[in-house]
Amino acid sequence: MSDSAKPDSYDVLAVAPHPDDLEILCGGTLAKLVKQGYKVGIIDLTSGEPTPRGSLEIRAREAEKAREILNVPMRINLDLPNRILMDEPANRFKLATLFRRYRPQIVIGSAGRTPAASPDHHQGHLLIEAARFYSQLTKWDDQFEGTAPYRVPHLVYAPFPFEAEQRSWQGTFIIDISDTFEQKMQAIQTYESQFDLGRFEKVAHFIRCVNGATGARCGYMYGEQFALPTSVGSTDLFTLVNGSKSLLSANIQPGKDHLPMG
């Protein structure tokens, strides 16, 4: 956690095109980060409207309810146009302005191309990467409402599970969301305008299967997958592979207390 961070800065900002994207992709992880004490914010790039049964007011109300369920303290809607979202300079400036204002240590961005779903997803992926790069640029403050340059240290992808490409991401990892999975499902269920009861059951089944299969790869009941734009670096192979579990050479005696297990 960033004790030394400025009061208005965030540990994690999560960004995606539509309200409900982040809940589906990484709602369990966002709720877990909050539980772990990290300062988390959500940025929806668009309102998600128009849709057949939604309205601006309904979507905003649903998104707010989902935010409360996940206990995320801040949710901003950047109000870029839904359906025709584009990675273009003006939109990069707007998102980068938020990065410069809220100075996150980590940006989680939805990622991937979804040819059978909204093209906004692919454009959002490109836009998030570009805005992260723009955020650090000097001699351009007038494009970012006078905010100071800020370099976002880490970008983490939250890939769509129905992505077109089987990508060779540089580094992937899975977060155990067994303790926040039901919270995630409740947050998704708030979007009644998108998932009426019949549809929600199908969506819930799909998500349960995806998160179940993803988690099982690491021995968790439920997991969410993430990826990095670069390889994972570490100076300690043991800690990287073994997480924070204790070293045998530390104070824990074999046969006493609990043994660290792989």
Q: What is the contact surface with Zn ion in residues (CB under 5 A)?
A: 18, 21
Q: Which is nearer to Zn ion, 46 or 180 (CB)?
A: 46
* CB-based closest residue to Zn ion: 18
Tell me the sheet residues that pair with 154.
106
Least distance in angstroms from the C-beta of 146 to Zn ion: 32
Q: Where are the beta strands (DSSP E) in the chain?
A: 12-16, 40-46, 74-80, 106-111, 154-159, 171-176, 223-228
Least distance in angstroms from the C-beta of 91 to Zn ion: 16
Q: Burial level of 199, CB count in 10 A (0-12/13-18/19+)? A: exposed
Residues in the chain, how many?
A: 262
Least distance in angstroms from the C-beta of 45 to Zn ion: 10
Q: Which is nearer to Zn ion, 55 or 246 (CB)?
A: 55
Least distance in angstroms from the C-beta of 235 to Zn ion: 38
Q: Which is nearer to Zn ion, 65 or 154 (CB)?
A: 65
Closest CA to 16 of 99, 101, 96, 77: 77
- Reading the block at residue 103, the tokens are 């100075």
Q: Which is nearer to Zn ion, 18 or 94 (CB)?
A: 18
Least distance in angstroms from the C-beta of 159 to Zn ion: 13
Q: Which is nearer to Zn ion, 18 or 67 (CB)?
A: 18
CB 72 within 8 A of CB 30: yes
